[in-house]
Copies of this chain bind each other. A is one copy, B any other.
Amino acid sequence: MQVDIGNALAAVADPGVAEAGLEELDDRVGAAHERIVAGRDQGSFGYAALNLPTETDPAAVREAVEPVADAEAVLTVGIGGSALGAATLSAGLGPAPVDHRVLDNVDPVHVRATLADLPLADTAVHVVSRSGTTAETLANFLVVRAAMNDAGVDWTERTVVTTGTAGPLRSLAETHGLPVLSTPEAVPGRFSVLSSVGLVPAAIHGHDIEALLAGAAEAAAGLSGSLLDCPAYAYGGVAYALDQRGAGINVMLPYTERLEPFAEWFAQLWAESLGKNGGGQTPVRALGATDQHSQLQLYRAGPRDKLVTLLRPRERPDRPIPDADIEPLAYLGGTTLGDLLDAEFEATEASLAAAGRPNVRIEIDRLDARGLGDLLFNMEAACILAGELYGVETFTQPAVEWGKRAARGLLGGGEFPEADAVADKHRLLVD
């Protein structure tokens, strides 16, 4: 991964980081790197994620999916960090002969449509929940299991489980003799893409999960104590510094449809890790070139509260644009869709810079297993570095507990004062 922070400097952008600010920041990056190294060495909670590229055993994943290796479709049942990594890998690694669907919501209409669409007898189901008690995931799994029963399919032959070392999903897997993998120790869901949590569907798809881990391992070996020679820290450090200077929004703008789910994965990583103590950048998921025709007006002429992160693979398969019999479009003849997309990428980057809007360019060589492993690892490291600079507990998400208790109380799952607060809603209805 290569990062170009030129357009984030005060010489170009406002807000921007002055040269002096960059040096000062780099001292802090060096100190943060020491803490990160210590955390990795000790396998401390969260930091342990950075060890996954070498600690994950792809052979164990391949063995667990062996009974469903003939599947025509894979259905991931999980939510948040138990779903976004797998979706990111499937899209990023490109079309596979095997269809991949994700049930990461409890919308009855969507669940019904998904099940109606899948060849249940030839579908592999991957259920993912560390605790084994995630309400949405377990509810969906109960529905999927019943649908398989109704279709005369033995769900125990189609299901692979990834869960913690104890809990109801572990018990269920043991009762029914299901292949079961463990969520990685000391790694929060949003940092678990490079474990069985993310790799199971990719393995069923026949993707090169070894190359993915190798790309990540190479990135891991490249972490160093200065943002000036460590792309992950350059990105995390500059994003943090820009936030301190008013860029409270971080737009993730990949110029390839296959990285659209990556932008969602990044949004969870960034929001849940850094959104604490009244601070943290708000990630915005976008897509180039499409959003030039939707969001660019705001990015260029709206508030100076944004870092725009432009992301692309340097090489990609291409497609020529046929010669046009449409006169004003004659200039497109002889070019390719890729030329057009690259021109738009560079034009958008320059147009933001010309308006003094900070932006960062991230490039990977190409969007293959190695390149994607490189990207995912580096963004995790960027996030962990940023968490050190913010001084937050990067690896927890305490603010979501209130709502979980309220929902559980509303459904009759126990007495929770939070559920009573729901009934006390302050209303001012307009209709």
Complex alpha-carbon distance, A428 and B110, angstroms? 46
Which single residue of chain B is at the shortest CB-CB distance from A413?
B331
Interface residues in A197-238 (C-beta closer than 8 Å to B): 227-231, 234
Interface residues in A322-346 (C-beta closer than 8 Å to B): 322, 324-329, 331-332, 335-341, 343-344, 346
Partner of A282, one of B249, B327, B402: B249
B317 touches A108 (CB 8 A): yes
Complex alpha-carbon distance, A219 and B365, angstroms? 51
Contacts of A428 in B (CB 8 A): 4-6, 9
B136 touches A340 (CB 8 A): yes
Distance (whole angstroms) from the CB of A358 to the closest CB of chain B: 11
Known: A297-B399, A402-B354, A425-B353. A410 touches B106 (CB 8 A): no
Q: Which of A36-44, A60-68, A77-85 contacts B (4 or more CB under 8 A)?
A: A77-85
User: A177 within 8 Å of B by Cβ?
Assistant: no
Contacts of A113 in B (CB 8 A): 95
Complex alpha-carbon distance, A319 and B292, angstroms? 39
User: A411 within 8 Å of B by Cβ?
Assistant: yes
Distance (whole angstroms) from the CB of A65 to the closest CB of chain B: 23
User: A156 within 8 Å of B by Cβ?
Assistant: no
Which single residue of chain B is at the shortest CB-CB distance from A12?
B426
Which single residue of chain B is at the shortest CB-CB distance from A5?
B428
Q: Which of A51-59, A118-126, A178-186, A303-311 contacts B (4 or more CB under 8 A)?
A: A303-311
Complex alpha-carbon distance, A404 and B6, angstroms? 22
Contacts of A104 in B (CB 8 A): 290, 293
Which single residue of chain B is at the shortest CB-CB distance from A229?
B430
Partner of A329, one of B135, B293, B306: B135
Contacts of A277 in B (CB 8 A): 301
Partner of A328, one of B95, B168, B339: B168
Contacts of A258 in B (CB 8 A): 107, 109-110
Interface residues in A20-53 (C-beta closer than 8 Å to B): none
A285 touches B285 (CB 8 A): yes
A106 touches B340 (CB 8 A): yes
User: A391 within 8 Å of B by Cβ?
Assistant: no
B108 touches A11 (CB 8 A): no
Which single residue of chain B is at the shortest CB-CB distance from A226?
B430
A400 touches B305 (CB 8 A): no
Distance (whole angstroms) from the CB of A381 to the closest CB of chain B: 13
User: A165 within 8 Å of B by Cβ?
Assistant: no
Partner of A301, one of B168, B276, B298: B276
Interface size on A, residues (CB 8 A): 147
Known: A106-B289, A294-B80, A298-B282. A9 touches B426 (CB 8 A): yes
User: A384 within 8 Å of B by Cβ?
Assistant: no
A146 touches B322 (CB 8 A): yes
Complex alpha-carbon distance, A430 and B2, angstroms? 6
Distance (whole angstroms) from the CB of A159 to the closest CB of chain B: 14
B109 touches A94 (CB 8 A): yes
Contacts of A431 in B (CB 8 A): 1-3, 231
Partner of A403, one of B143, B172, B351: B351
Contacts of A317 in B (CB 8 A): 108-109, 112
Known: A108-B338, A353-B425, A426-B7. A306 touches B282 (CB 8 A): yes
User: A69 within 8 Å of B by Cβ?
Assistant: no
Known: A2-B430, A12-B426, A413-B331. A275 touches B290 (CB 8 A): no
Complex alpha-carbon distance, A249 and B214, angstroms? 39
User: A154 within 8 Å of B by Cβ?
Assistant: no
Q: List 20 A-B contacts (CB under 8 A).
A: A1-B431, A2-B429, A6-B425, A6-B429, A79-B289, A80-B294, A106-B337, A136-B340, A138-B324, A227-B430, A248-B248, A271-B302, A274-B302, A275-B295, A275-B297, A285-B285, A331-B408, A347-B403, A353-B425, A353-B426
Given contacts A109-B256, A277-B301, A282-B284, 12 further A-B contacts (CB under 8 A): A2-B430, A4-B430, A112-B317, A138-B329, A143-B321, A168-B327, A229-B430, A249-B249, A267-B295, A272-B298, A282-B298, A282-B305
